[in-house]
Structure 1
C-alpha cells in the first residue's frame, strides 16, 4: 500500500525503517505534514525476528514496520513507495527527486535510508545471510547458542568478535581468513577461552562446513562475520553532503551530531545511515530525537517570521 504523494511537505523522510518511521511519528504528532519515501529494502528483512527491543522481543521485522506505517498514517503522515535519486536545495526549500520522475518540495529533510551490508567475497556465504550467516551476537547469539560457530576474520575486529561469540557457545573457531594476523596477546586470549584458530583463507562455504584454500573442510553450522557497512545516502551529493569513513573503520556513514544535525542546515540524519552499529531500538530513538529537533527548528523559523509580521502591524 502506498499513499498519494503531494507536491510539498513540511518534512520529507527518506527511509521507512525504525528511525524514519519513528521520526515521522513524532512529526505527525506535532501536526507537521510529513511524507516517508521508502524503497522497501529493510536491512533486517532476512531475519526471523527483531531482538533486544523491549516489549516487542522477537517480532518479525515486517510486522514491526507494518505497525509503524499504520501509526504514522494515524497522524496524517504519508507512506510512499519509491527510491530517491537526488536531493537539491532550491528557492529556500529542498527538492527531492524520485527515480520515477516525481519531485517533492520540503522545508526539512530527515535522512534515514540505512545501510547496505557488504559481505566478504566467499562463494556460498551471501545466500546464507540472515539464516546461518550472522554478524551480531546480541541480535542472533541466543538463537544460535551452543552450536558450532565459525567467526570469519575479515577486519581488525575479528578477535574481538570471536571473544564476543564465545559467550554463546564453547564450540568456536576463528578463521583468520583475510583479517590481520592475531598478536601474541590475542592468541593467548583466544587459547585461554578455548577458541581454536584456523589459519588460511576460506575458498567456499559448503553444506558440510568451510572449505579452505588448501582443501581442508572445517565443519561448522553457523558463521559470524563482520560486514562492511555502506550508508545509503549517495543521493545527497547535490547538497554537498558526502559519505565518509566511520571512526570505527566499519564502513562509510553520513556524519551528524548527537541530535541528528548534518553539515547542511535543515538536513537531519538518524539510524544506521549515520550510526552504523545502531540496533532497532537506538535507531528508533534517534529518529524520535531528530523528529523533535526538526519540529523545534521549524517553530523557531515560524516564530521569527511571526515576529517580523507583528512588528509591521500585520
Structure 2
C-alpha cells in the first residue's frame, strides 16, 4: 500500500480503517466529490484467510487483492489512502460557522482535521487458550460456516465449545460433514441440545482438551485429550471472543455493549451507522461482528452516503447564513 500525502487543510471526512466497510464508505464519499482520507494500518480481520467467500461476483478473491482494488478505486475518485495507525481522535473546536471538527493524530505524529469521522476499525477475534490452536487460525481453525464451510466440507471436523452458542455452530457445521465431534471443554450441554446432537450423530467428548496436535506437514492432525488419547480431526471450528478495535479512539466516547451469549462486545450504532457522538459514524465488524465482507461493505456504503447527506445539509445551512450576512 502506498502512502498518499496528507492534505494540509480540513477534509470532509476521515475514515479510520481500510477494510471493506471503510473503503466502501470512502468510495461513496469520494464519488460525491468529498475530500476524504482513509487511514489504514493494514491488519484486516480476514488477513489470515486465503479468500473471501459469499461475495457475489468476487467469490474466491484473496482479501489483499480485494482491498488493493478498493484502494485504487477510492484514489481514482480523488480520495486519499494513507498507511498508518490512529493514536488519538477527538472532537475539537467547531468552525466559525458552527460546523463540527475532529482532530486526528497518527502514531507517527502526522495530523489531520476532519468535519466528520467514519470509524471502521473492525473487531478482534480472541481464541480460547488451547495450546496449538492459534497456529492454525484462518486455515485449519475456522469459525464461520458461511466464510469457510464449503472449503472444509466432508472433512473430519471438531467443534471446540466455548459456550451455548457452540451448539448452534455445531448444527451449522453438521450440514457440511457427516463426521463431527463436539468437545464440550467443560461447558454446559443441556438436554435438548444434547438430544439434537445425538439425533444428528454428532459424537460428544466431555474429557478435557489439552492441545491441538499437528502432523508432519504442519496441518491439524487431531485433538489431544487429558487422558492421553488423540481424537483425529482435520478441521476445528471454534467461537471467538469478539473485541471492538478502539485503541486510540477512547476520547470519542463511543458506546459499547455486550453481545448476547457472552460472545463479546460491539459498538452501539443506529441507522446507517450513526452513533450518539455527533459527527461520528461506525460501520462493519466494529458494530456488526457477524457481518461478512459483503454486508460490511454495504454498511460502509450506507454510512458514507449518510455522512454526505449530513454534510450537504451543513453546507446548505452555512450558505444561508453567509447570504443573510450580505443583506
The TM-score, its normalising length taken from structure 1, stands at 0.97
Q: 1:99 aligns with which of 101, 107, 112?
A: 107
What is residue 198 of structure 1 aligned with on the other side? 205
What is residue 97 of structure 2 aligned with on the other side? none
Alpha-carbon shift at residue 115 of structure 1 (Å): 1.1
1:96-121 deviations in Å (ceiling 9; x for gaps): 11111111100000000111110010
Alpha-carbon shift at residue 83 of structure 1 (Å): 0.5
What is residue 280 of structure 1 aligned with on the other side? 293
CA distance in 1, matches of 2:270, 2:163: 26
Q: Does 1:59 align with 2:61?
A: yes
- Asked whether the equivalents of residues 241 and 264 of structure 1 are also in contact (C-alpha less than 8 Å), the reply is yes
- Asked whether the equivalents of residues 173 and 195 of structure 1 are also in contact (C-alpha less than 8 Å), the reply is yes
What is residue 150 of structure 1 aligned with on the other side? 158
CA distance in 2, matches of 1:172, 1:123: 21
What is residue 118 of structure 1 aligned with on the other side? 126
Q: Specify the SS of the correspondent of 1:105.
A: strand
- Asked whether the equivalents of residues 155 and 178 of structure 1 are also in contact (C-alpha less than 8 Å), the reply is no
- Asked whether the equivalents of residues 96 and 105 of structure 1 are also in contact (C-alpha less than 8 Å), the reply is yes
- Asked whether the equivalents of residues 175 and 199 of structure 1 are also in contact (C-alpha less than 8 Å), the reply is yes
CA distance in 2, matches of 1:41, 1:274: 18
Q: Does 1:21 align with 2:34?
A: no
CA distance in 2, matches of 1:256, 1:118: 22
1:255-284 deviations in Å (ceiling 9; x for gaps): 111310111010000000111100000000
Q: How many residues align?
A: 313
Alpha-carbon shift at residue 77 of structure 1 (Å): 0.6
What is residue 217 of structure 2 aligned with on the other side? none
The TM-score, its normalising length taken from structure 2, stands at 0.93
Q: Specify the SS of the correspondent of 1:123.
A: coil
- Asked whether the equivalents of residues 233 and 243 of structure 1 are also in contact (C-alpha less than 8 Å), the reply is no
RMSD, aligned α-carbons: 1.1
Q: 1:269 aligns with which of 282, 289, 297?
A: 282
What is residue 237 of structure 1 aligned with on the other side? 250
CA distance in 2, matches of 1:269, 1:278: 13
Q: List aligned pairs for 1:1-314, cutoff 5 A.
A: 1-7=2-8, 8-92=10-94, 93-179=101-187, 181-207=188-214, 208-247=221-260, 249-313=262-326
- Asked whether the equivalents of residues 15 and 38 of structure 2 are also in contact (C-alpha less than 8 Å), the reply is yes
CA distance in 1, matches of 2:208, 2:32: 54
Structure 1 regions of 5+ residues with no counterpart? Answer: none
CA distance in 2, matches of 1:14, 1:247: 27
